[in-house]
Structure 1
Amino acid sequence: MTSYSEYRSPLGILLLAATERGLSGLYFEQHKYFKGTQDWRRDDGHDHLLRTKDQLDEYFAGQRQVFDVALDLRGTPFQRAVWDALALLPFGLTATYQSIAQRVASPKAVRAVGTAIGRNPVSIIVPCHRVLGSSGALSGYAGGLDRKRYLLALEEKNYRGAETAIPAAADFFADGQTRLLLQE
């Protein structure tokens, strides 16, 4: 059974969905791939949803860089591999679609990686907003490019204010295709 609740964010109302195993969805208003709440039940007291709301509050307040909510993601093995790679992308860094393709050992599957990233059911939590085009340009985001731009700016602001370095940031990709959000 999937339960849902709404969360008021600086980006508008987010619809959060969870099963007994973990968070299964985070959808923006007019989310490109949202299929609706048929057979879901509203549960504003669901443990996974409450924990997600608390962590989103901290994230938007600049107090959280890593989410540790339980996830229950449904997708193909390839999609799950891409989402797992995204989950490893540290706060304050961006990557390209090409570098994600290389990370999942499918360097020629850049378009398929882009499609899998677009189908990420838990935007923000699994940080697909940190993936840019090969030129560094914003491209594709199921919640809209304005929201992607906002999230990157929020992380840049909070990264600049951080007192400690991001652990293992330089080691995310062996090919060095990650870059700081900072443009100095």
Structure 2
Amino acid sequence: MESKPCVASLTVKNSNVLPPDTNSYGTMFGGLLMAQMDDVAAIAATRHARKHVVTASTDSVDFLYPVKEGDTICLEAFVTWTHNTSMEVFVKAVTENLILGDRKVCATAFLTMVAIDENRKPTIVPPVHPESKEEIFLHQGGAKRAELRRERRKNSKEMAQTFGTSFPWNEQSRL
């Protein structure tokens, strides 16, 4: 399968931040921003794989600067690293006050997307190759981040097994 450059998956999406998008402090709901980041990551991954994709994980989303009502939000995403059926997608969110021209990176995250076939089973994706110094920087850390995700997923499965599906937990555990 032929390798594709990171830039081939570049996806950019802009939108206004309106009153229904904000909390009582007049700043954008974090969950809404996360949903928009997931959406743009899915578009970038689909563009790379030319297959349907599902979200496998989201690394920590760090909210660096508030997004205010009346601002715009610009999301940029591209595939940085691949492994068999999965793609790591870097997403950057930039808030902008269009009147003042003030722009700030308000959040970043890595999302892992998995390509699926017509039977909804994971399917092979093309490799990705970086070209710019920023793409090379992100690509070089991809394998290490993937290993950290595998460890985090293992811990999450252990946590799910420990707590199960019911609440309150076993009365014995309260003693």
Normalising by structure 2, report the TM-score.
0.28
Rg comparison, structure with higher value = 2
